[in-house]
């Protein structure tokens, strides 16, 4: 298939020939580690390096022998979807001793290994850095003992280290998300959603304990994702007298017709005097003070298990490739680095800067400087905590500001999972800001028909976990009904508009902006949040709903591939949604381990199809048993899914047989993923705060009047930041015929998918190669953790 030209062609400038790279997983396991191992092995082999597995972590490095084995391309097949780590992980006391590290150095030198890729937590990475610093001294010692030749000191003079953080706790500073965190959130939310149905039946209170001995990220984000009544985390212990406040809140919620209560406790939760708060203590408290039927559920190692989520597979694959690039570019003077995620970008940070900051968090907690601990943990964590407090704890009416502004919220376009979480967030933040919130049913069709009513705090309880659009959504555009919409705006005195939807929502805002010249009613602050499974909205790298759809695609691809296990060789042709946007096919293909993904943005012809069939035939003859080919629904009007299926069936005769599957609307359904719940919740809260600010700025002579470009914006995530962009300025970036942005960041992931599928291709590394420093406090706008 045709390739976009890169600014820097990777395999022409960087070569791994003559280098040996070893990969190990250490400390606690995390889902996605296997995807990282697979990416390191395949990228390493691709550039001509020798790649070794070190089994059982540092213990295997110390013991040597069969624990250090050369890796092959086929050896990492079928491990992308497997949880845990197939090369094993172990805690190793011996490596902490000088003698143990001496043995490890000898074992690495025997295999000519001077490049280490370590996947683990801060302890594992600290150990790797110490090993690197001692390396030359260890080699000198081995020469003195007569174990290695003197020239080996010169030949293997430097040990290069690159780390990737694998930890479900997300407790490492410097990265927005660690490998395994998103999958652990999936396990927690699956359990919470299941518990909520039984709790509702019996009017019960559930106290759930989640992992996080020193970090409350899992507890905090899962509380945000399920709308928990109370959360207890180690970084921010509750104020003295919290017991009474918690019981009052639970009681008030029950009085408001809520049939259940959820309390989430991190395993390391403490009070202000650093005394542990246990689930049993919380349960006994609720029973004693309120008499509620209360149950405790400890999730335990369920959180570590299961299949990695689509997010973790993509994150780990990107980090694995970046780690190999970092090892190839490193010199003797380059400090050990860790590959991190910042916003939507892979970055390299000095390992020890990150470790020191992570240790600072614990020190601040030990010294009871809790506010500082939250700040050092990172802006993403701090933002989560602020958002949770804003949405979970309702202020009494007497304490609310009175703005006298009416703000309407509506959904437009096709439903997307996470829309309801965004609506809930907007309603509650709006009420907290003192606005009267109005809900519009059925998009602009409902708007001009007058389906507008006030919506209260309690009306959106339990909305975060529900798929689809509870407000109702239609594709109707406002231009034809502008007069009736203006009339409804006058009737309900609407002062601002929040539109949550896909490409149609952008078209709606452009039409309303252009109609301002005719209708003064449209001269109000308007904001759009991108929500579509296709992820085809200009001005944002990600849309609400796309992650849920990706997970649906990946889970289905896993099942389809498994259906062929033990049978003859088989290739599956899978059609995904997305209109003309190939995001789902490309990123789903990367996460599912596809051999090819056909999309509109990258034109292909019969020669490309033939080359793909031949490539797959060759792989089938030598190694793999199952092939996976994804096709975006509108990738080509002539090369349909049926055509590709028939072509592969005919050309693969005698080598493999073929099956096809059109995924259809199952990509649009289901409960939203943790990512979509939190992404929707956070960007919606930010949008409402922007609307409040604009309302104050544009209120003159007793009314709101806003007609500037920057009063009609889309809030999107661009690389590392959440940015408000005037919709008028996005027109030049948009292909309106095919309903896609003219430039799309994820196209850079396509060569990565092909490299991991054994194609020779060019790889643009223009974003790679820069070692940055850890920022203690990023600029305010860049709290855009793509994660949560």
Residues 6+ apart with CB under 8 A from 6: 751, 762, 763, 764, 765, 766
Residues 6+ apart with CB under 8 A from 197: none
Q: Which residues of 223-233 are buried (b: 16+ CB within 10 A; e: fewer)?
A: bbbbbbbbbbb
Both structure tokens of 496: 């601002």
- Main-chain dihedrals φ then ψ at residue 30, nearest 5 degrees: -150, 140
Calpha distance 315→179 (Å, rounded): 7
Reduced DSSP (H G I as helix, E B as strand, rest coil) percent helix, strand, coil of the chain, to 5: 45, 20, 35
Residues in the chain: 788
Closest listed residue to residue 137, CA positions, set 182, 105, 164, 161: 105
Between the CA of residue 549 and those of 160, 305, 581, what are the distances in Å?
A: 39, 22, 14
Tell me if 92 sits within 8 A of 62, measured CB to CB.
yes
**Within a 13 Å sphere around the CA of 268, how many CA atoms are in the beta-carbon half?**
17
Tell me if 694 sits within 8 A of 660, measured CB to CB.
no
- Give the other-Cβ count within 10 Å of 157's Cβ: 12
**Within a 13 Å sphere around the CA of 113, how many CA atoms are in the beta-carbon half?**
25
- Provide the 8-state DSSP code for 13: H
Calpha distance 541→718 (Å, rounded): 6
Residues 6+ apart with CB under 8 A from 377: 173, 215, 235, 361
Which residue stretches of 627-739 are H helix? 641-651, 674-697
459 is catalytic: no
Calpha distance 572→574 (Å, rounded): 6
**Residue that has been written with the tokens 């990600």 in this structure:** 542
Reading phi first (left if > 0) and then psi (alpha if -120 to 50, else beta), residue 468 is in: left
- Main-chain dihedrals φ then ψ at residue 744, nearest 5 degrees: -135, 125
Closest listed residue to residue 109, CA positions, set 73, 71, 68: 68
Between the CA of residue 553 and those of 34, 616, 746, what are the distances in Å?
A: 19, 21, 17
Calpha distance 506→508 (Å, rounded): 5
Closest listed residue to residue 311, CA positions, set 677, 673, 681, 767: 673
Calpha distance 234→228 (Å, rounded): 17
The dihedral sign for the CA sequence 612, 616, 617, 619: positive
Residues 6+ apart with CB under 8 A from 123: 27
- Give the active site residue among 169, 229, 558, 783: 169
Calpha distance 614→596 (Å, rounded): 12
Calpha distance 146→144 (Å, rounded): 5
Tell me if 573 sits within 8 A of 631, measured CB to CB.
yes
Q: Partners of 11 in the beta sheet?
A: none
Tell me if 269 sits within 8 A of 365, measured CB to CB.
no
- Main-chain dihedrals φ then ψ at residue 95, nearest 5 degrees: -70, -20
Q: What angle do CA 739, 744, 746 make, to 5 degrees?
A: 125
Q: Partners of 597 in the beta sheet?
A: 630
- The catalytic residue positions are 169
């Amino acid at each position: 298939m045709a390739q976009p030209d890169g600014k820097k062609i990777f395999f022409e400038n960087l070569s791994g020939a003559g280098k040996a790279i070893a990969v190990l997983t250490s400390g606690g396991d995390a889902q996605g580690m296997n995807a990282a191992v697979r990416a390191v092995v395949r990228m390493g082999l691709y550039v001509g390096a020798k790649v070794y597995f070190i089994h059982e972590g540092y213990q295997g490095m110390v013991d040597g022998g069969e624990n250090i084995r050369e890796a092959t391309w086929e050896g990492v097949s079928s491990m992308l979807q497997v949880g845990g780590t197939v090369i094993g992980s172990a805690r190793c006391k011996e490596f902490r001793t000088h003698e143990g590290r001496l043995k490890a150095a000898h074992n690495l030198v025997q295999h000519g290994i001077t490049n280490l890729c370590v996947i683990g937590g801060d302890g594992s990475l600290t150990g790797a850095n110490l090993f690197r610093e001692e390396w030359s001294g260890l080699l000198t010692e081995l020469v003195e003992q007569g174990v290695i030749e003197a020239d080996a000191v010169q030949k293997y003079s430097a040990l290069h280290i690159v780390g990737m953080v694998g930890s479900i706790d997300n407790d490492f500073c410097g990265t927005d998300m660690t490998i395994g965190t998103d999958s652990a959130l999936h396990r927690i939310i699956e359990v919470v959603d299941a518990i909520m149905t039984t709790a509702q039946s019996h009017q019960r209170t559930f106290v759930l304990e989640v992992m996080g001995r020193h970090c409350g990220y899992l507890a905090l984000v899962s509380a945000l994702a399920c709308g928990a009544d109370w959360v207890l985390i180690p970084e921010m212990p509750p104020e003295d007298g919290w017991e009474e406040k918690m019981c009052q809140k639970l009681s008030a919620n029950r009085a408001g017709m809520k049939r259940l209560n959820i309390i989430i406790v991190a395993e390391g939760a403490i009070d202000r005097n650093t005394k542990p708060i246990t689930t049993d203590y919380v349960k006994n408290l609720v029973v004693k003070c309120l008499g509620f039927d209360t149950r405790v559920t400890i999730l335990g190692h369920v959180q570590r298990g299961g299949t990695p989520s689509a997010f973790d597979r993509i994150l780990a694959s990107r980090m694995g490739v970046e780690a190999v690039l970092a090892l190839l570019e490193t010199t003797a003077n380059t400090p050990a680095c860790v590959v991190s995620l910042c916003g939507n970008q892979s970055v390299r940070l000095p390992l020890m800067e990150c470790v020191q900051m992570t240790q600072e968090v614990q020190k601040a907690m030990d010294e009871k400087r809790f506010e500082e601990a939250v700040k050092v943990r990172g802006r993403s964590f701090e933002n989560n905590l602020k958002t949770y407090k804003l949405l979970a704890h309702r202020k009494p009416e007497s304490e609310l500001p009175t703005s006298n502004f009416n703000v309407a919220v509506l959904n437009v376009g096709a439903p997307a999972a996470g829309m309801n979480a965004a609506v809930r967030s907007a309603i509650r933040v709006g009420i907290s800001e003192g606005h009267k919130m109005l809900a519009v049913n059925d998009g602009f069709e409902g708007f001009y028909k007058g389906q507008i009513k006030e919506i209260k705090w309690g009306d959106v309880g339990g909305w975060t976990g529900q798929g689809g659009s509870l407000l109702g959504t239609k594709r109707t555009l406002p231009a034809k009904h502008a007069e009736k919409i203006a009339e409804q705006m006058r009737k309900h005195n609407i002062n601002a508009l929040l539109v949550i939807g896909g490409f149609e929502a952008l078209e709606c805002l452009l039409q309303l902006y252009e109609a301002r010249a005719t209708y003064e009613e449209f001269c109000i602050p308007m904001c759009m949040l991108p929500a579509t499974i296709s992820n085809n909205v200009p001005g944002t790298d990600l849309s609400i709903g796309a992650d849920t759809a990706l997970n649906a695609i990946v889970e289905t691809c896993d099942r389809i591939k498994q259906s062929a296990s033990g049978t003859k060789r088989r290739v599956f042709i899978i059609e995904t949604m997305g209109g003309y946007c190939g995001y789902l096919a490309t990123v789903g293909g990367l996460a599912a381990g596809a051999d090819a993904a056909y999309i509109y943005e990258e034109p292909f012809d019969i020669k490309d199809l033939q080359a793909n069939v031949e490539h797959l035939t060759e792989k089938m003859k030598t190694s793999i048993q199952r092939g996976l080919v994804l096709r975006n629904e509108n990738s080509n009007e002539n090369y349909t899914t049926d055509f590709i299926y028939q072509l592969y069936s005919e050309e693969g005769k005698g080598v493999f047989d073929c099956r096809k599957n059109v995924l259809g609307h199952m990509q649009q359904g289901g409960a939203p993923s943790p990512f979509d719940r939190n992404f929707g919740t956070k960007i919606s809260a930010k949008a409402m705060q922007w609307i409040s600010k604009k309302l104050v700025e544009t209120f003159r002579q007793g009314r709101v009047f806003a007609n500037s470009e920057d009063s009609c914006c889309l809030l999107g995530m661009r690389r590392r930041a959440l940015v408000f962009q005037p919709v008028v300025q996005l027109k030049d970036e948009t292909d309106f015929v095919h309903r896609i942005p003219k430039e799309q960041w994820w196209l850079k992931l396509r060569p990565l998918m092909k490299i991991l599928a054994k194609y020779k291709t060019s790889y643009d590394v223009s974003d790679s190669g820069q070692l940055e420093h850890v920022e203690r406090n990023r600029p305010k706008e860049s709290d855009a953790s793509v994660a949560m």
